[in-house]
Amino acid sequence: MVSAKQGASRTARRPLVSGNWKMHHDHIEALHAVRDLGLRLKREEAALVDVSVHPPFTDLRTVQVLLEGEGIPVMLGAQHCHTEDAGAFTGEVSPRMLARLGVRFVIVGHSERRRLFGMTDEVVAATLVAVLRHQLTPICCVGESAEERDAGRTEARLEAQLRGALAGLSPEQLGSLVLAYEPIWAIGTGRAATPVDAQDAAGFLRGIVGEIGGAEAARSVRIQYGGSVTAENAAELLAEPDIDGLLVGGASLQAASFHDIIRAVVACYRSDAA
Ligand code: PEP
């Protein structure tokens, strides 16, 4: 049983728990899921932990109206966007459109976008700039494959992805980011990274942010872990000093399991404050 979030009071980084719904839930199902989450999530919990949900584009307006109309303390997120604000880009959605919908967070460079849709480090970098241009917060995903891990190339891969993505950002912008360490082999497999491995990676990423943007940026940047997070492993991951939140896929689709994860995170921070 993990009792405290070591370092939380030292760093004052607010935890962020984000639900990436991927291509699940139409807008009616989204309505039910968010309403259910709103009934479970207590004000005291939301006071301690930032929570975001990232539905498919077709659900965003419905979820926005629900969150605002009922005052549900959950922030709206998107899963991806284009680099331009408007133009002849059939099938794409712009960061400006997301900002107009009240979106606060945008996942950028998820491994599924990189692997299935050819998103390169250069496009990830341009998307971060575009998202920041609209005062949205990017959740920039990095992570190694199973082959890279087995070959002992985890750090080299993370460093290449991170330096590629962050090129051109100011220290202030770096400090405002959310990074998500998502080992590809852990996503949707039921095999989460151990807390020690997740901490090693998160600490390594924070060190690189420090090298690029200085100590203040490194202190401020929030780092999530993602990959088969459940209510059972959430607390031990969050207890690690460089892990400030969780990016949750499958377990975020049902309000009950997502809320159980949020509760586990709240318990870590509450016992630290005690
Ligand atoms: C994800 O989609 O980013 C993810 C971490 O998925 P899961 O929690 O299902 O592994």
Where do the domains of the chain lie? Answer: 10-15+34-99+106-273
Claim: this prediction has a pTM higher than 0.85: yes
Q: SS3 for 243? A: coil
Residues facing 213 on adjacent strands: none
Q: Supply the residue whose CA is at minimum distance from atom 1 of ligand 1.
A: 249
Quote the ligand 1 centre to 117 CA distance (angstroms): 17
Quote the ligand 1 centre to 228 CA distance (angstroms): 6
CATH class held by domain 10-15+34-99+106-273: alpha beta
Q: Low-confidence residues of the chain, pLDDT below 50?
A: 1-4, 7-10
pLDDT of residue 273: 56
Give tens-digit pLDDT for 244-259: 999 999 999 999 999 9
pLDDT of residue 4: 47
pLDDT of residue 12: 80
pLDDT of residue 231: 97
pLDDT of residue 143: 98
| CA nearest to 81, candidates 64, 96, 65, 59 | 96
pLDDT of residue 26: 98
Q: How far lies 28's CA from each of 25, 46, 98, 106, 130, in Å?
A: 8, 24, 20, 22, 30
- 182 classed as catalytic: yes
- 110 classed as catalytic: yes
| Catalytic position from the list 182, 236, 240, 259 | 182
